[in-house]
Amino acid sequence: MESKKDKDNEPECARITNGLLKSRTGEFDLESILFLKLRGLGIYDLGCIGECINLERLDLSGNNITNLAPLASLRLLVVLNLSANRISNLEPISSCESLQSLNVAGNLICSPDNLHALKSLRKLEIIRLKDNTYNYTNPVCKNSSYRNILLEMFPNIKVLDGERVVGRGSDLYQLCKDIDDTIKASIFKNCQLPELPDCKPWVEDSFWEIKRSNNAIVDEAYKQFNDVLHECRLLNSRASHAISQTERSLGLKNQPKQYAV
């Protein structure tokens, strides 16, 4: 994750220009750009970005973008991060036929109807509309049934809002979530808070530390890995708590009954 100091040192630019793209990538020919990160630059006009027709990965998070029309020509785009902008209309990216991962958390998407334009994206497997790590969301997320609506709308989706919905691990995750919800319901019913269990981490804190690289692509992969790792740690903490509470509950049920004489 970028530090506040790094963010403060980033120059702000309202519009994407040839000069900006060349200075950020070192590529003279815009068609040679495959990976582009323009995060937190105050951009609201995508300008000439449509000329980068061979782009595969694009990060435009943390800007002031509202109009996505220039992205319509990016047919080779695989990963697109538009989180923390001011987007309400996703129709222009319906022509990005290679898109597999889309992050639009922290925008102004008000209804599942705003996502209908993406149904033509047959390769789309990952959609994020909210991100609890950074407290990003969309108005549509307030709809209690929006998750089910999206899963019906996109039957091939594998990950929604950072949670696996198909494949290995999804059943276990759902089981842990059900246990957690049941325990929470019991807590509210009894009007008391449980004691937090004394849980030890599976590995030492330094186990996951890796050295950073100066390579831009590896740096981006490092950030994404740390984001996923942070979510995994949160899920691990919740699962450990749920298991401890369940074991305690089962232990109480299995205790022999004592009768006063």
- pLDDT tens-digit profile of 223-236? 667 777 777 887 78
What is the per-residue pLDDT for 216? 53
Nearest CA to 38 out of 21, 18, 19, 56 is that of 21
pLDDT at 80 over 80: yes
Q: What is the band of 237 on the pLDDT scale with cuts at 50, 70, 90?
A: confident
Say what the pTM is: 0.63
- In this structure, of 27-36, 125-134, 199-208, the range with the lowest mean pLDDT score is 199-208
pLDDT tens for residues 81-122? 999 999 999 999 999 999 999 999 999 999 988 999 899 999
Q: Give the CATH H-level superfamily of domain 1-165.
A: Ribonuclease Inhibitor (3.80.10.10)
CA distances from 157 to 117, 162, 244 (A): 15, 11, 32
pLDDT tens for residues 144-185? 888 888 888 888 889 999 888 865 444 555 566 666 666 666
Q: What is the C-alpha separation between 106 and 244, in angstroms, rounded? A: 34
Nearest CA to 13 out of 4, 23, 3 is that of 23
What is the per-residue pLDDT for 71? 97
Q: What is the band of 136 on the pLDDT scale with cuts at 50, 70, 90?
A: very high
pLDDT at 187 over 70: no
253-258 average pLDDT score? 60
In three-state secondary structure terms, 33 is coil
| Region class of 26: left (phi > 0), else alpha (psi between -120 and 50), else beta | left
What is the per-residue pLDDT for 61? 96
What is the per-residue pLDDT for 156? 86
Question: Given the structure tokens 């205790």, which residue do they identify?
Answer: 255
What is the per-residue pLDDT for 195? 59
Q: What is the C-alpha separation between 7 and 241, in angstroms, rounded? A: 36
Query: DSSP state, 170?
Result: H
Instruction: Output 6 or 91, whichever has higher pLDDT.
Output: 91
Share of the chain above pLDDT 70, in %: 69
Q: What is the C-alpha separation between 20 and 59, in angstroms, rounded? A: 15
Q: What is the mean pLDDT of the chain?
A: 80
Domain ranges within the chain, ordered by starting residue:
1-165, 167-256
What is the amino acid identity at position 93? I
User: For the chain, what is the radius of gyration of the CA atoms?
Assistant: 22
Instruction: Output 161 or 188, whichever has higher pLDDT.
Output: 161
Nearest CA to 88 out of 73, 71, 106 is that of 106
Structure tokens belonging to residue 195: 């004691």
Instruction: Give me the residues paired with residue 137 across strands.
Output: none
Please give the distance of CA 101 from its chain centroid, rounded to a whole number: 10
What is the amino acid identity at position 153? M
